[in-house]
Structures are given as C-alpha cells and as structure tokens.
Amino acid sequence: MGSIAVPQGRRRPKVVHWFRTDLRVHDSPSLAKALELDPETLTCVWTWDPAYVYSHRVGHLRWSFLLESMQVLSDQLTKINKDQRLVVLKGEPTKVWDWVFKEWEGVTHLVYEVDTSAYALQRDKQVLLLAKSLGITVVPVLGHTLYDVPSIIKKNNNAPTTTVAQWGKAAAKLPSPSLPLPVPTSLPPMGPTPLPTLGFLPLTEWKPPLDINSIDLGGDRTSPPTCFLPPLSLTTTIPTPESLSLPPRTASPLVPGGELIALARLEKVLKNKEWIAAFSKPRGEARGEHTKERNDRRKDEATRKVRRVQKKAETGKKRERQ
C-alpha cells in the first residue's frame, strides 16, 4: 500500500476513522490508510445507531458478541497509545456526522471500510453528500470483502454471482488480494470530542421508533433501552447489556467477541494440517439426497394443505344444502 504524502508547508490532516464492520486493528486496510495520511490527530469512532437497536432483530448472544468486540478493539487501541480508545457516538449517523464535521476542531478527513449492505449503502451515501458539502475529504477503503464487489460483478458478465463456482471464475480474473496487514506500532493522539449539550437525540425532538426487539414483539427486551437517554447519551463510552435492557444471559457464547479470540481460533485451525489437507465440501450425492428429502417434505405439506382446504370447502357446501 503506497504512502500518501502531505505537501510541505501544509498542516497535517485531522482524521476521523469510522469503525463499522471492521472491529480490529490487525489487517485493517482502512486504519492503515488513515495512518498513511500522517494525521496530526486520529479519532476512532463507532456510531451507535438507533436503527441497530430498534429496527434489527438481534438476540442476547449477538448483542454480547458486538459489545465484547467493541471493548476488545478499544483496549487494543489503548494498548498502542494509552490516550487512544474507541469513541462511541450515540445517535442517527447523519446527525452525528453533521455535528462532528462542524463542531470537532478542524476535522479534514473521514476514513472508513466499504460496506455493501443495503442499509449501509443508503447511510453512507447521505454521509458522503454531507461531507462533500462541508469540504471534508472522504476515503472509503476496501476491507470487508477480499474483492471489490462491483469488480466481481463486472467480471461475471455484469451479473451478480449466484454460485461459488461463478464467484471463483470471476475472482480468478482479478489480481490476488493483498497480504494481511500487521497491527500498527503507533497511533497519533485523539482529537477533542465535544458532544451536544442534550446529546444527539434530545427527547424534545426525538421519539424512539417501534422496537422489534421488545418482548411484546417476540424479542428479549423487557423494557425500553436507556442507552439513548441521559446520562448515557451524554457519554462516549461503550454501551452495556443493561443499557439495552437485556435480561441476564442464560447461555454462554460458544464464540466470545473480539479479534484476539478470532485470531487465536484461526491460528489453532491452521496448525491442524491434517484437517486442512482432508477438508472437502459435501459430496453431490449427499447434498442431492438432502435436497430430495426436503422437497418431498414440502410436497407432502402442500398436499395436506390442499386437502384441508378441499375438506373445508366440501363441509361448507354440505351446510348450504342443509
């Protein structure tokens, strides 16, 4: 990855790195790109979006995995620079970034890892337009996927890949991905992170949306979350399970969150050379048998449903004759 030179005589940039799907410092292309800018300050941000909390069905273990991953990332940043940590801004992304761009001292760049999910594409488009209108340079960086998704589609005759074989043929036409990047050995200091007096979601202006994670709608939440209310909304700390109004956990996670555990698990697997050498995908026959059983079951269910409807109709006709 080539370096980005800052011309002599110009002030060094003040960069904000927006962590999203990339809760890691190891092999983080976007973090590496932010550091290549040779910033005077680097502030690492996570936007705690109400859409995550209210509008996505998420269970207790998944929330725990996310919160654990955020805490490990923050600890890793602090390990590199004792004055660094993950800054969590609790509010709708467009309002958060409008404040950051205008109120944080001299921010010049926003760097983040590309996310191709539908919600992220819409969100990022709004943030990009806002940044450009305020003269902020936005640097999206590939990192969540090995290859740029539009490039894969282009190499697949401008059509989305629908099988692993199609994806493999398209990827073979592109240069190989870069090797994993090391953990940074140093980080510049954070910039100032002032917050709005009433937070990003003042109750006088904001009404919480329908909570699909509430127990009334089949979720785990027994009461409204408090992470968007004072005093938590006026802090930049990582939310807690309690602030999400989650009940006590009844099961231990098979895979705790955080990049350190993920790297340890990966290293353990890679040491098992016999397992790697013997690994194979499911055989076609077994897969075909499974598909046949599933299709037969669905056919039987459909047949029973048709019979129930026919029987109901016949019963109705008998009553009419009587």
pLDDT bin (cut points 50, 70, 90) of residue 88 is very high
Higher pLDDT, 13 or 290: 13
pLDDT bin (cut points 50, 70, 90) of residue 278 is confident
Rounded Cα gap, residues 141 and 20, in angstroms: 12
Higher pLDDT, 284 or 213: 213
Rounded Cα gap, residues 28 and 15, in angstroms: 16
pLDDT bin (cut points 50, 70, 90) of residue 164 is confident
Contact call for residues 141 and 114 (beta carbons, < 8 A): yes
Average pLDDT value for residue range 241-255: 83
Rounded Cα gap, residues 94 and 49, in angstroms: 10
pLDDT bin (cut points 50, 70, 90) of residue 252 is confident
Rounded Cα gap, residues 185 and 316, in angstroms: 78
- In sequence order, which residues have a C-beta less than 8 Å from that of residue 147 and are 6 or more positions away? 171, 174, 177
Rounded Cα gap, residues 65 and 68, in angstroms: 5
Higher pLDDT, 4 or 320: 320
pLDDT bin (cut points 50, 70, 90) of residue 5 is very low
Rounded Cα gap, residues 142 and 274, in angstroms: 33
Q: Among 9-13, 85-89, 162-166, 297-301, whose mean pLDDT is lowest?
A: 297-301
Task: Report whether pLDDT(286) > 50.
Answer: no
pLDDT bin (cut points 50, 70, 90) of residue 196 is very high
Average pLDDT value for residue range 231-252: 88
Task: Report whether pLDDT(255) > 90.
Answer: no
Rounded Cα gap, residues 247 and 226, in angstroms: 14
Average pLDDT value for residue range 259-267: 94
For all residues of the chain together, what is the average pLDDT? 88
**The pLDDT value given to residue 292:** 61
CA distances from 280 to 36, 162, 251, 277, 283 (A): 41, 20, 32, 9, 8
pLDDT bin (cut points 50, 70, 90) of residue 274 is confident
Cis amide linkage into residue 231, ω under 30° from 0:
yes
Token pair for residue 84? 């660094």
pLDDT bin (cut points 50, 70, 90) of residue 282 is low
Handedness of CA 100, 104, 109, 111 (dihedral sign): negative
Contact call for residues 98 and 54 (beta carbons, < 8 A): no
Higher pLDDT, 294 or 147: 147
Rounded Cα gap, residues 277 and 275, in angstroms: 6
pLDDT bin (cut points 50, 70, 90) of residue 1 is very low
pLDDT bin (cut points 50, 70, 90) of residue 302 is low
pTM of full prediction above 0.85:
no
101-107: long-range contacts at Cβ-Cβ below 8 A with a sequence spacing of 24 or more?
Answer: 101/130, 101/131, 101/134, 101/136, 102/134, 103/194, 104/14, 104/16, 104/43, 104/191, 104/192, 104/193, 104/194, 105/14, 105/191, 105/192, 106/14, 106/191, 107/14, 107/15, 107/16, 107/136, 107/191
Where is 238: in which H helix or E strand?
Answer: none
